[in-house]
Amino acid sequence: MKGVKQSHAEWPERESWLPLLELSVREVYERMLGCQVEPGIITDTQPALDCIALVGLTGTLRGVLSLRCSSASAILMASKMLELSAGDADPQMGDAIGEICNMIAGNFKSRIPELSDRCMLSVPTVIAGEDYTCHSLADGGSIDTAFLLEGSPVTVTLQVHS
């Protein structure tokens, strides 16, 4: 996917994690939403990413995996997951992006043998609204990927504690 930013030069062994994270994103969207995601980048002209789902990781790998998107994208995801109209899917959007984030995190860690058995996931947390700042104490760098879902931007970021 284009629009990928890596900031973990201090962990050369984790260079291979980015394609695994992208693969997990693709697999979750294909299997659970029945759609393909496209490579994408975030620009200033795109709508605010006012929904964020967070899943904590603890154990061998400690950090946070987050998924950010606009509320319109969150509704679209819920609509695709549940095969409902956008109006009917609206109340489920938080639950839907929380589950998607959880599945991406689980799928990602299952691809790395040393994480699979020794890294646990938290129950997802979802925040919606524009007037917030998300500040993670993770200080070990991050792996970022961005993609488009029917033209709308979505980002997935893994922030890691050192």
Contacting positions for another protein (CB under 8 A): 27-28, 30-32, 78, 81-83, 92, 95-96, 98-99, 102-103, 105-107, 110, 116-118, 120-121, 123
Q: How far is the CB of 67 from another protein (least distance, A)?
A: 14
- Cβ-based neighbour number of residue 157 at 10 Å: 23
Nearer to another protein, 27 or 72 (CB): 27
Nearer to another protein, 117 or 150 (CB): 117
Which stretches of the chain are DSSP H helices? 17-28, 71-82, 86-89, 93-110, 113-116
Q: How far is the CB of 135 from another protein (least distance, A)?
A: 25
Which of 111, 77, 112 has the alpha carbon at shortest distance from 93?
77
Which of 40, 39, 96, 88 has the alpha carbon at shortest distance from 67?
96
Nearer to another protein, 57 or 146 (CB): 57
Nearer to another protein, 2 or 118 (CB): 118
Could you give the CA distance from residue 52 to residue 74 in angstroms, rounded to a whole number? 9
